[in-house]
Chains A and B, each alone.
Chain A
Amino acid sequence: AQSVTQLDSHVSVSEGTPVLLRCNYSSSYSPSLFWYVQHPNKGLQLLLKYTSAATLVKGINGFEAEFKKSETSFHLTKPSAHMSDAAEYFCVVREKAAGNKLTFGGGTRVLVKP
């Protein structure tokens, strides 16, 4: 069975400083991994995805994530936070054996201070 753990429920950063959101996963098979962002009162938007190609994945809005199989991690980073990055972020795993079903982490809420 697949599962996802987001290690921080809240992260607070200052504008212009790096952002790190941590995610660990558990999967029996080769997983696909995603990061989605949810701005207040909005739906979820795909930031980036890993599907067994390059382990360093670049997404929209300057975000990137690195797949580390040995550490079962898929941490999301951004070199310089912007006020518009304030949102909730979800790490998501999909196992090929699970068809199209996704398993979501509990979410990390990011606060950006001016």
Chain B
Amino acid sequence: DAGITQSPRYKITETGRQVTLMCHQTWSHSYMFWYRQDLGHGLRLIYYSAAADITDKGEVPDGYVVSRSKTENFPLTLESATRSQTSVYFCASSYSGADQETQYFGPGTRLLVL
């Protein structure tokens, strides 16, 4: 049971390049989320999705694009990476039923933008 996985785990890129971070979950959870973690800020929500083909902005969506064509995948794309997007990115998922409040997190992707 793989749960929720993220790839790559580490990524170095250059300013202006496009980068896609992958998130995959095997639980068929309806909800999926992308967060970024920066020192002193805890985790901040970038985008979330309530189901396939339904996405919505979170607290810090600028510079990011998401899609959700399949329930199990929720890729996050930085269309033109900037140094301020250097961060640790976490994907999470949750049920839509009685326990929808509990989010399950992936191991994270460390992204460095030079």
List the interface of chain A (C-beta within 8 A of B): 4, 9, 32, 34, 36, 41-46, 49, 51, 90, 94, 99-102, 104-107
Cβ A49 vs Cβ B101 within 8 A: yes
How far, in Å, is A63 (CB) from chain B's closest CB?
A: 16
Which residue on chain B has the smallest CB distance to residue A42?
Answer: B107
- Contacts A49-B101, A101-B48; A90 near B42 (Cβ below 8 A): yes
How far, in Å, is B72 (CB) from chain A's closest CB?
A: 17
A sample of 22 inter-chain contacts (CB < 8 A) reads: A4-B42, A9-B40, A34-B102, A42-B107, A42-B108, A43-B105, A43-B106, A44-B43, A44-B92, A46-B104, A49-B102, A90-B42, A100-B31, A100-B50, A100-B94, A100-B101, A102-B103, A104-B35, A104-B42, A104-B43, A106-B42, A107-B42
- Per a CB cutoff under 8 Å, which of A34, A102, A105 touches B45? A102
Cβ contacts under 8 Å, A90 to chain B: 42-43
Which residue on chain B has the smallest CB distance to residue A99?
Answer: B50
* B44 CB–A CB distance under 8 Å: yes
Cβ B102 vs Cβ A101 within 8 A: no
